[in-house]
């Protein structure tokens, strides 16, 4: 007998019809003789709709109350799914995060899971019950509801796989697995059979929404293999696993993109030690994440321009912070641009294949796509470009690196 985590994302439970379909998948897996713990997301669009409501009440909606509100979407779907399973003649029961409990830290809206109590659920599944657990949520030591960041049901699934020591962790979604790039913007994508935790972490951090980055990191830390697969076909999906099980035939495994990037340039700061720290310290202290950074020095070596990227939604706040520090920073002017995208190629195979960088730049140049900033790591290269060229860039890179 195997113990399985089956996680169903929002698109898999987006309608009553789909919930009934999911209940049938669960029934089948149960009849194969498995112990089943289900993790469920809110019906698709629900978390966005709740977020929208909060913003109509206040732009500064209390963060702890926001978690109470957002977690409600998963309460609805887990009850609908449990009842649907019961209707098929099986024994099922829903658990909210606080009932399990899934204990998290107090970092509301992006909490980390600390521990999960297993006894009650183990008893239930060992007597043939199907446990349906609301994803995305937990409870803090202040006895308040927390959430795990957008897409956080993936993290719930991985954490449950760890604490329940399950034989597999299956992420059911609306696509057949992880593809060479987002199938919604390119029709020549290929399914990746196996991908390493490291590459998947880069893919999702750089925009591939199919897995939440924090969940991939958690899986990597505890070596919990993940199977990403479709709710709507029975085909095998993608295995996310440790690097030792993968041989890299290609230099690039996948391409990811993220829109909503903004770029700020501070022109004419005095070029002396400590300036970059003075620029970024107040930004960091305001919890704004800086992504790419470029500094170039004037010919006479006296002044420098510092350019960096942030998320579009942080642009106003960032500009205000810099303007407030104008006297200290002593710059000439600030410029900004807020309709930018970051396109990235990812692949552990690039470590062993020289020339990937120039091929990427040449292929973009041939399409007349201007590169505004570049950042690299061992297994990825990212470029910043105009947002409206995103799809064109992804398509040309997909072809250049032999992924079509």
Residues that bind ligand ASP (CB under 6 A): 9-10, 41-42, 47, 73, 135-136, 150-154
Nearer residue to ligand ADP within complex by CB, 44 or 111: 44
Tokens 């649907």 label which residue?
Answer: 84
* 254 belongs to the binding site for ligand ADP (CB under 6 A): yes
CA angle 359, 362, 365 (to 5 degrees): 150
Asked if 86 and 30 touch (Cβ cutoff 8 Å), the reply is no
Asked if 208 and 146 touch (Cβ cutoff 8 Å), the reply is no
Asked if 401 and 361 touch (Cβ cutoff 8 Å), the reply is no
Tokens 């006894």 label which residue?
Answer: 119
> Which of positions 360-399 make contact with Mg ion (CB under 5 A)?
none
Closest contact distance (angstroms) between CB of 285 and ligand ADP is: 31
Judged by CB under 5 A, the residue of 151, 152, 177, 213 near Mg ion is 151
Closest contact distance (angstroms) between CB of 43 and Mg ion is: 13
> Which of positions 314-353 make contact with ligand ADP (CB under 6 A)?
none
194, 247, 197, 195: which is closest to 221 by C-alpha?
Answer: 197
Residue 137 interaction partner, one of ligand ASP, ligand ADP, Mg ion, none, beta carbon < 5-8 Å per kind: none
Query: In 3-state terms, what secondary structure has residue 368?
Result: coil
Query: What does the block give as tokens for 213?
Result: 């980055």
Judged by CB under 6 A, the residue of 5, 11, 26, 121 near ligand ADP is 11
In 185-274, where does DSSP find H-type helix? 197-205, 213-221
Judged by CB under 5 A, the residue of 5, 9, 125, 283 near Mg ion is 9
Judged by CB under 6 A, the residue of 208, 343, 345, 393 near ligand ADP is 208
By beta carbon distance, the residue nearest ligand ADP is: 9
Query: In 3-state terms, what secondary structure has residue 354?
Result: coil
Cα 95 to Cα 85: distance, rounded to the nearest angstrom: 14
Closest contact distance (angstroms) between CB of 243 and ligand ASP is: 26
Show Cβ contacts of residue 321 under 8 Å, excluding neighbours closer than 6 positions: 282, 283, 286, 288
* 21 belongs to the binding site for ligand ADP (CB under 6 A): no
Residue 101 interaction partner, one of ligand ASP, Mg ion, ligand ADP, none, beta carbon < 5-8 Å per kind: none
Strands (E), 9-122: 35-40, 92-95, 102-104, 113-116
| Sign of the torsion formed by the C-alpha atoms of 87, 159, 210 and 30 | negative
> Which of positions 170-189 make contact with ligand ADP (CB under 6 A)?
173-175, 178-179, 181-184
Residue 12 interaction partner, one of ligand ASP, Mg ion, ligand ADP, none, beta carbon < 5-8 Å per kind: ligand ADP
Query: What does the block give as tokens for 76?
Result: 């609805």
* 125 belongs to the binding site for ligand ADP (CB under 6 A): no
Nearer residue to Mg ion within complex by CB, 151 or 213: 151
Nearer residue to ligand ASP within complex by CB, 136 or 331: 136
Cα 199 to Cα 110: distance, rounded to the nearest angstrom: 23
* 253 belongs to the binding site for ligand ADP (CB under 6 A): no
Closest contact distance (angstroms) between CB of 305 and ligand ASP is: 37
Cα 176 to Cα 183: distance, rounded to the nearest angstrom: 10
Judged by CB under 6 A, the residue of 4, 5, 12, 71 near ligand ADP is 12
- Crossing angle of helices 275-285/315-324, nearest 10°? 130
Please report, as ranges, the residues that interact with ligand ADP according to CB under 6 A. 9-12, 41, 44, 151, 173-175, 178-179, 181-184, 208-210, 254
């Amino acid at each position: 007998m195997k113990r399985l985590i089956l996680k169903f994302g929002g698109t898999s439970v987006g309608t009553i019809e789909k919930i009934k379909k999911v209940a049938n998948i669960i029934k089948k897996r149960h009849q194969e003789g498995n112990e089943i713990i289900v993790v469920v997301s809110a019906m698709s669009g629900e978390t966005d709709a709740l977020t929208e409501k909060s913003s109509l009440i206040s732009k500064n909606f209390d963060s702890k109350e926001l978690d109470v509100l957002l977690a409600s979407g998963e309460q609805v779907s887990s009850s609908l799914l449990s009842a649907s399973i019961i209707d098929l003649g099986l024994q099922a029961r829903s658990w909210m995060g606080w009932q399990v409990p899934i204990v998290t830290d107090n970092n509301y809206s992006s909490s980390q899971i600390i521990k999960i109590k297993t006894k009650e659920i183990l008893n239930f599944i060992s007597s043939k019950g199907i446990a349906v657990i609301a994803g995305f949520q937990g409870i803090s030591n202040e006895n308040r509801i927390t959430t795990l960041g957008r897409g956080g049901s993936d993290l719930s699934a991985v954490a449950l796989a760890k604490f329940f020591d399950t034989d597999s962790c299956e992420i059911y979604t609306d696509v057949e697995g992880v593809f060479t790039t987002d199938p919604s913007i390119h029709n020549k994508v290929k399914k990746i059979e196996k991908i390493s935790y490291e590459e998947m972490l880069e893919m999702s951090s750089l925009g591939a929404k199919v897995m939440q980055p924090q969940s991939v990191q958690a899986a990597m830390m505890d070596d919990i293999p993940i199977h990403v697969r479709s709710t709507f076909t029975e085909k095998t999906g993608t295995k996310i696993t440790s690097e030792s099980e993968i041989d890299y035939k290609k230099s690039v495994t996948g391409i990811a993109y993220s829109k909503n990037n903004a770029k700020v340039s501070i022109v004419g700061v005095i070029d002396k030690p400590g300036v970059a720290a003075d620029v970024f310290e107040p930004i960091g202290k305001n919890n704004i994440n800086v992504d790419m950074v470029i500094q170039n020095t004037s010919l006479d070596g006296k002044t420098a321009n510092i350019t960096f990227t942030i998320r579009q939604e942080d642009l106003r706040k960032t500009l205000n912070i810099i303007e407030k520090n104008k006297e200290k920073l002593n710059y000439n002017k600030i410029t900004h641009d807020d309709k930018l995208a970051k396109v990235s190629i990812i692949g552990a195979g690039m470590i062993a294949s020289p020339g990937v960088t120039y091929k990427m730049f040449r292929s973009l140049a041939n399409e007349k796509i201007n590169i505004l900033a570049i950042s690299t790591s061992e297994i990825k290269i990212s470029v910043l470009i105009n947002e409206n060229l995103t799809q064109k860039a992804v398509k040309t890179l997909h072809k250049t690196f032999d992924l079509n």
